[in-house]
């Protein structure tokens, strides 16, 4: 099987050793495209689709956190951060923005490849993943398939992520502020109304099953059976 990977990294040496190491692998075959800065990385992301993105944080032009946030506005493509920024707050922030893994430099190439392969397998539905269910709603995190009342539902990335988080925390109150931080990041300049607007769209997409998402006045939302 062949996968297309984008590596956004300003260090030429790191770019070359990752490209060379991955090109030597045959099962699966990973075709690595690279960008030397954030601006070039964003251009490539807009031009074509990738199976996975390896992303440095400290980049000329757009930084890695900004790029991750932009990707998550329109895509659920797997993202792995490769960075020297190993502070706990940076790692947690990376996950809150929606990355799939966070690897601190220096790192082992074998470990990187193993993590890439594991994430690709999950993303392509090649390993068993528990399907989340709540009432008449089901969600498969591996295949990104959602069903409501037995009917397939197409959701944009943000609505999918909100539903997934609500299903992981079903029968619990999830505050608007928590959803805002997890879906848009700490430095998002909008207000909590953006959460309400996306939940409204989510309910509409789910049809009658959307009624399972209950509004908790002054607090947030709760998904019930």
3-state secondary structure of 79: strand
> Does 61 have pLDDT greater than 70?
yes
Give the per-residue pLDDT at 129.
56
Give the per-residue pLDDT at 18.
93
Of the pLDDT bands very low, low, confident and very high (cuts 50, 70, 90), residue 2 is confident
Give the per-residue pLDDT at 158.
84
Q: Which fold has domain 132-223?
A: Arc Repressor Mutant, subunit A (1.10.10)
pLDDT in tens, 23-47: 888 766 888 999 999 999 999 998 8
Q: Is 158 exposed, middle or buried (0-12, 13-18, 19+ CB in 10 A)?
A: buried
Give the per-residue pLDDT at 87.
84
CA atoms within 13 A on the CB side of 111: 10
pLDDT in tens, 126-179: 545 578 899 999 998 767 789 999 899 998 888 888 998 898 889 999 888 888
* Average pLDDT in the chain: 87
CA distances from 216 to 9, 159, 219, 220 (A): 44, 19, 6, 5
pTM above 0.85, yes or no: no
Ranges assigned E (strand) in the chain:
2-8, 29-35, 52-55, 79-83, 101-104, 132-134, 137-140, 145-148, 151-153, 174-175, 213-216, 220-223
For the chain, what are the domain ranges? 2-123, 132-223
Give the per-residue pLDDT at 24.
85
Of the pLDDT bands very low, low, confident and very high (cuts 50, 70, 90), residue 68 is very high
> Does 108 have pLDDT greater than 70?
yes
Distance (Å, whole) CA 151 – CA 172: 25
* Long-range contacts, stretch 19-25, CB < 8 angstroms, 24+ apart: 21/109, 21/113, 22/113, 25/113
Q: Is 132 exposed, middle or buried (0-12, 13-18, 19+ CB in 10 A)?
A: middle
Query: Which phi-psi region, left, alpha or beta, contains residue 61 (left: φ > 0; alpha: ψ -120 to 50)?
Result: left
3-state secondary structure of 205: helix
pLDDT in tens, 207-222: 999 999 999 988 899 9
Of 139, 166, 165, 163, nearest in space to 222 by CA: 166
Give the per-residue pLDDT at 95.
84
Of the pLDDT bands very low, low, confident and very high (cuts 50, 70, 90), residue 190 is low
Selected from 3.10.290.20, 3.40.50.1100, 3.40.50.2300, 3.40.50.300, the CATH number assigned to the domain covering 2-123 reads 3.40.50.2300
The angle at the Cα of 107, spanning 102 to 110, to the nearest 5 degrees, equals 100
Percent of the chain with pLDDT over 70: 94
């Amino acid at each position: 099987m062949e996968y297309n990977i984008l590596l956004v990294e300003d260090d030429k040496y790191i770019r070359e050793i990752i490209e060379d190491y991955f090109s030597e692998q045959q099962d699966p075959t990973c075709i690595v495209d690279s960008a030397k800065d954030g601006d070039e990385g964003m251009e490539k992301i807009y031009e074509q689709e990738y199976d996975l993105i390896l992303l440095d944080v400290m980049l000329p032009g757009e930084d890695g956190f900004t790029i991750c946030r932009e990707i998550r506005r329109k895509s659920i493509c797997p993202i792995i951060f490769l960075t020297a920024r190993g502070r706990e707050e940076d790692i947690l922030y990376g996950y809150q923005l929606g990355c799939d893994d966070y690897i601190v430099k220096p790192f082992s190439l074998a470990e990187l490849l193993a993590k890439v392969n594991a994430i690709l397998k999950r993303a392509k539905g090649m390993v068993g993943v528990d399907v989340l269910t709540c009432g008449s709603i089901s969600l498969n995190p591996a295949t990104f398939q959602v069903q409501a009342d037995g009917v397939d539902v197409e959701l944009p990335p943000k609505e999918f992520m909100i539903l997934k988080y609500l299903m992981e925390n079903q029968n619990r109150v999830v505050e608007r502020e928590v959803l805002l931080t997890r879906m848009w990041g700490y430095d998002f300049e909008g207000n909590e109304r953006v959460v309400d607007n996306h939940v409204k769209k989510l309910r509409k997409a789910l049809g009658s099953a959307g009624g399972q998402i209950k509004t908790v006045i002054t607090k947030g939302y709760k998904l019930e059976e």
